[in-house]
Amino acid sequence: MGFQCCLGGTTLNALKFAAIPSSSSSSRLVFRSLSKTFFLYPHYSPQRPSFSLPIRAFSTSTVQATKATQNPTDEKVVKPQWKAAIDFKWIRDNKDVVAVNIRNRNSNANLELVLHLYDKMLTLQKEVERLRGERNVVANKMKGKLEPSERQKLIEQGKNLKEELLSLEEDLLKLTDDLQQEAQCIPNLTHPDVPIGGEDCATIRKMVGSPREFSFPVKDHQQLGKDLDLLDFDAASVVSGSKFYYLKNEAVMLEMALINWTLSQVMKSGFTPLTTPELVRSSVVEKCGFQPRGTNTQVYSIEGSDQCLIGTAEIPVGGIHMDSIISESLLPLKYVAFSHCFRTEAGAAGAATRGLYRVHQFSKAEMFIICRPDESEKYLEELIRIEEDMFSSLGLHYKILDMASGDLGAPAYRKYDIEAWMPGLERFGEISSASNCTDYQSRRLGIRYRPSEPSAGNTPKKGKSNLAPPQFVHTLNATACAVPRMLVCLLENYQQEDGSVIIPPPLRPFMGGLELITPKSR
């Protein structure tokens, strides 16, 4: 199911930022670290569309949280705690490509402002370097024997240069921060085969099976859940509010069976099972491409802290290797993570979202892959194959959709949704999605790998290491099993005329051999 909504390690120092101290000398030190960020990363190649443009809207919450720790009268520049490794030169050199992509994805990113700020930053940076050169010249002259009047003249000149330089460095810090935040609004690039347009423009890649024909009136999962004493929405609404639910009796066993069966199936493909934290730092949510705060956020934030409840295990799994360099021999890294998920479902209403279809809390098993850039498209196909094998074995009628550009979340380079037929709801409903995020997330999370062989023509200088420079990995994610929607599918598709529900054969060993859910005797 698509989710539209303290840094460790020492490998990516350029991505770690705290509030800038108010002292001007500290500001200079921060700037020297900052100035490298924009020029050290490999440029994108227009001929290699699988390398993404890793940028996304940055929440102001981090800045606000930082400001709260400072003296309210302090007007010094406040920096965010992290920065994506954005290649601004590539954006400028490929502005037409970026502009078309922004338009196709219905993004509100302001490319013209990004380019304007980048040009201003380059101009100001040159002026800073010029003043630094003049300051060094003055400092060298001071080392020689000088007449008192001449020395005093140089002292005054040095003092003026220092003050001017400090002012420009502070302006540059503010400018680079503005540039970074604007550029992080730009979405990932899009696979060339992705259909252009909104949700209605998605293309059907594959249709599997056909709808079951019923010889009796079909019930939806809410009615089945009530008749079989499996679901209780009324009590949950009193205890927790709308869009919460209790599972009861065999529904509890079915949830456990779905998760255990899913884990066992996915682990056959070499995935490492995980359970994850369900509270994470806001910065990790942002780095994965989700917006922790805002009018239509899907994220529950914890008041008085920098933590959020996760909407998908993709977020804590993505954070496992944050700020690290992975040996190429360890790739790919494949995880299947079980967690509870929490979503505000802002703006969700209507009959199409009733019952278990759209809820605030649910269990989910999520697949996550970290791989080399040249292999991410292959692993996207693997994720789809795993999903297909599982849904086919459960006897579901489903279709695979290649989602259109306007329906892609900012991190996704390409996304496939799987929608299954839900006879009680009389429509297809999304039960899974699989996304290739290329290096969008890894450039934010700071996840790189070191190739085992140096690149061609990369001859190390004398005394330098012959190790190949690290590169950003690609990340992929896919829903293996979102329990509530799977319950909708199973209850509605396997209902019988007498009101019972058949348990699909693959799940029976995980339910103690139970084959049928029958009405309870009154």
- Could you tell me if 423 and 18 are in contact, meaning their C-beta atoms sit under 8 angstroms apart? no
- Residue 216 assigned ligand-binding role: no
Instruction: Provide the residue ranges of all domains of the chain, joining segments of one domain with +.
Output: 88-184, 199-453+467-517
Residue 284 is assigned to a ligand binding site: no
- The reply, when asked if residue 388 is annotated as ligand binding, is no
Question: Distance between CA 38 and CA 394 in Å, rounded?
Answer: 50
Q: Is 362 annotated as a binding residue?
A: yes
The answer to the question of whether 485 is labelled as a binding residue is no
Tell me which fold the domain 199-453+467-517 belongs to: BirA Bifunctional Protein; domain 2 (3.30.930)
Please provide the DSSP assignment of 406-447 as one string. Answer: GGS-TT-SEEEEEEEEETTTTEEEEEEEEEE-TTHHHHHHTE
Residue-level pLDDT, tens digit, the chain, 522 residues:
655 443 333 332 332 323 323 333 333 333 333 333 333 233 333 333 333 333 333 333 333 333 333 343 333 434 446 788 999 999 999 999 999 999 999 998 999 999 999 999 999 999 999 888 988 888 888 787 778 888 788 888 888 888 888 999 999 999 999 998 899 889 999 999 999 999 899 999 999 999 999 999 999 999 999 999 999 999 999 999 999 999 999 999 999 999 999 999 999 999 999 999 999 999 999 999 888 877 778 899 998 999 999 999 999 999 999 999 999 999 999 999 999 999 998 666 665 678 999 999 999 999 999 999 999 999 999 999 999 999 999 999 999 999 999 999 999 999 999 999 999 999 999 999 999 999 999 999 999 999 987 656 556 666 566 788 999 999 999 999 999 999 999 999 999 999 999 999 999 999 999 999 999 875
What is the amino acid identity at position 188?
Answer: N
432 is in an annotated binding site: yes
Q: Residue 178 is encoded by which pair of tokens?
A: 């503005």
Is 249 annotated in some ligand binding site? no
Is 140 among the annotated ligand-binding positions?
A: no
Q: Annotation-wise, does 123 bind a ligand?
A: no
Closest CA to 494 of 305, 221, 199, 234: 221
Check whether 360 is labelled as a binding-site residue.
yes
- Is 392 annotated as contributing to ligand binding? no
In degrees, rounded to 5, the angle at the alpha carbon of residue 187 between the alpha carbons of residues 358 and 308 is: 45
Q: Does the structural domain 88-184 have CATH classification 1.10.287.40?
A: yes
Please report how the helices 148-183 and 24-37 are oriented relative to each other, as an axis angle in degrees rounded to 10.
50
For residues 314 and 284, the answer to whether their CB atoms sit within 8 Å is no
State yes or no: 359 annotated in a binding site: yes
* Contact (Cβ atoms closer than 8 angstroms) between residue 102 and residue 109: yes
Q: Is residue 106 marked as binding?
A: no
Distances (CA, A) of 13 to 30, 440, 499, 513: 11, 18, 61, 54
Q: Is 418 annotated as a binding residue?
A: no
